[in-house]
Amino acid sequence: MLQNEELAARPGLLQRLDPRIKLLTLVLFAVTTSLVHSLWVLIALIGVTIALAAASRVGIASFERRVWLTAGLLALLVAAPSALRIFTPGPVAVSLGPLVLTEPGLMGVATLVTRVVASAGFALLVVWTMRWSDLLKALTAMRLPDVVVATLAMTQKQILTLLRTVEQIHLARESRTLTRGSARGDRAWVTERMAFVVRKSMKTADDVYDAMLSRGFTGAMPSLVKLRLRPRDWAWSAASVALCATILFADRMIGP
């Protein structure tokens, strides 16, 4: 959260845009990524995310590390078995004893991983270059149901509250423990604390909702953020649409 506030306050390219335009255009990039089939075009899209991160004064090394170690690693673990010959027949590319990887299988894995990494990069740019209050206001302005916006707002606050609770529980146990416990005892303690946090989460949610109703909550999340479109927002929108059209045309010409 602290890093998000710091990055969103920087005078970068994406930070200067209206939250609604930024959200729509970056979603457009993500949708375009899902329609691309060429591996080389997907790699170029990853390059676009890096360029946008640099123009928005986001640390490229930190940005790429977060994208590849989360979305990239998960996509690789999910897609890796499809490269085996028993799932994807074709010419053999690598033979590791009983594990035989085919060229079509490896190409499919590479395509899926690069597509996920590119999409995750665009999503991370939205989160990192926009304050949470601006994002909620943009979602409300885009006619997203109030219950969804309210749920997102309360979920974020609840996560921070529960993280603080978990930290306090851990510090309390450390300060009262003189000897190292057994592995079985530690597992039992962790399980009990997990159940405690779940119960606390449910009770807190009910208490907060009752408190909101008693103060006149009607379902809408009020915001002091004022949104206004500027010429640079329209220019960015036009450039984004043109770039996405060019990407799809290039993908059609190059092919898988």
Same domain, 152 and 120: no
- Give the pLDDT score at 256: 62
Q: Are 29 and 240 in contact (CB under 8 A)?
A: yes
Same domain, 32 and 108: yes
Same domain, 106 and 162: no
Same domain, 21 and 105: yes
Same domain, 114 and 159: no
Same domain, 126 and 95: yes
Same domain, 192 and 248: no
Same domain, 103 and 22: yes
Each residue's pLDDT expressed in tens, for the chain with a length of 256 residues: 667 777 888 888 888 888 888 888 888 998 999 899 888 999 999 999 999 999 988 888 888 888 988 888 999 998 888 888 888 888 887 777 778 888 888 888 899 999 999 999 998 888 888 888 788 888 887 777 877 887 887 887 888 888 888 888 888 888 887 777 788 888 888 888 888 888 888 888 888 888 878 877 776 666 666 777 888 889 999 999 999 999 999 888 886 6
- Report how many domains make up the chain: 2
- Give the pLDDT score at 115: 92
201 belongs to a structural domain:
yes
The Cβ of residue 193 has, within 10 Å, a number of other Cβ atoms equal to: 15
57: left (phi over 0), alpha (psi -120 to 50) or beta: left
- Give the pLDDT score at 140: 81
pTM for the predicted model, two decimal places: 0.74
Same domain, 16 and 94: yes
- Give the pLDDT score at 215: 77
Residue 9's φ and ψ, nearest 5 degrees, are -90, -10
137 belongs to a structural domain:
no
220 belongs to a structural domain:
no
Same domain, 24 and 76: yes
Same domain, 82 and 166: no
- Give the pLDDT score at 95: 79
Q: Which domain covers residue 197, as residue numbers?
A: 144-214
- Give the pLDDT score at 49: 92
102 belongs to a structural domain:
yes
Cα 210 from Cα 126, distance rounded (Å) = 32
- Give the pLDDT score at 223: 64
219 belongs to a structural domain:
no
Model pLDDT for residues 82-131, shown as the tens digit of each residue? 888 888 888 887 777 778 888 888 888 899 999 999 999 998 888 888 88
Same domain, 14 and 44: yes
221 belongs to a structural domain:
no
Rg (CA), the chain: 23
Q: Are 42 and 33 in contact (CB under 8 A)?
A: yes
138 belongs to a structural domain:
no
DSSP symbol at 72:
I
74 belongs to a structural domain:
yes
